[in-house]
A = this chain, B = another copy of it.
Amino acid sequence: MARVSNTTLLLQLIRRDLRVALRQRSEFLNPIIFLLVVITLFPLAVGPAADTLARIAPGVIWVSALLSAMLGLERMFRDDFRDGALEHMLLLPCPVELAVLGKVIVHWLLTALPLLLISPLLALLLSLPMQALPILIVTLLLGTPVLSAVGAIGVALTVSLNRGGALLSLLLLPLLIPLLIFATAALEAATYNLSAAGPLAMMAAFLVLALGLSPLAVKAALQVSVN
- Of the listed stretches A64-72, A201-209, A215-223, name the one at the interface; the rest are far from the partner chain: A64-72
Of the residues B29, B52, B162, B177, contact of A166 by C-beta under 8 Å? B29
In the bound complex, residues from chain B placing their C-beta under 8 Å from that of A71 are: 67, 70-71, 74, 164-166, 169
Is A176 part of the binding interface, using a Cβ–Cβ cutoff of 8 Å?
A: yes
Interface string of A20-61 (1 = CB under 8 A from B): 010111110111011011101110111100001001101110
Complex CA gap A21/B25 in Å reads: 26
In the bound complex, residues from chain B placing their C-beta under 8 Å from that of A27 are: 163, 165, 167
Tally of this chain's copies? 2
Is A96 part of the binding interface, using a Cβ–Cβ cutoff of 8 Å?
A: no
In the bound complex, residues from chain B placing their C-beta under 8 Å from that of A161 are: 23-24
Complex CA gap A31/B165 in Å reads: 9
Is A138 part of the binding interface, using a Cβ–Cβ cutoff of 8 Å?
A: no
Complex CA gap A54/B15 in Å reads: 46
Q: Could you tell me the distance in whole angstroms from the C-beta of A172 to the nearest C-beta in chain B?
A: 7
Complex CA gap A162/B36 in Å reads: 22
In the bound complex, residues from chain B placing their C-beta under 8 Å from that of A52 are: 52, 55-56
Is A63 part of the binding interface, using a Cβ–Cβ cutoff of 8 Å?
A: yes
Complex CA gap A163/B72 in Å reads: 10
- Nearest opposing residue in chain B for A64, CB measure: B63
In the bound complex, residues from chain B placing their C-beta under 8 Å from that of A44 are: 59, 177, 180-181, 184
Is A168 part of the binding interface, using a Cβ–Cβ cutoff of 8 Å?
A: yes
Complex CA gap A55/B82 in Å reads: 44
14 contacts between A and B (CB under 8 A): A24-B161, A25-B166, A27-B165, A30-B167, A33-B170, A37-B173, A41-B173, A41-B184, A45-B180, A52-B52, A63-B67, A71-B169, A72-B165, A74-B74
Question: Which residues of A pack against B, CB within 8 Å?
Answer: 21, 23-27, 29-31, 33-34, 36-38, 40-42, 44-47, 52, 55-56, 58-60, 62-63, 66-68, 70-72, 74-75, 79, 82, 110, 158, 161-170, 172-174, 176-177, 180-181, 184, 188
Closest 6 CB pairs of A and B: A26-B165, A45-B59, A71-B165, A46-B59, A25-B165, A34-B166
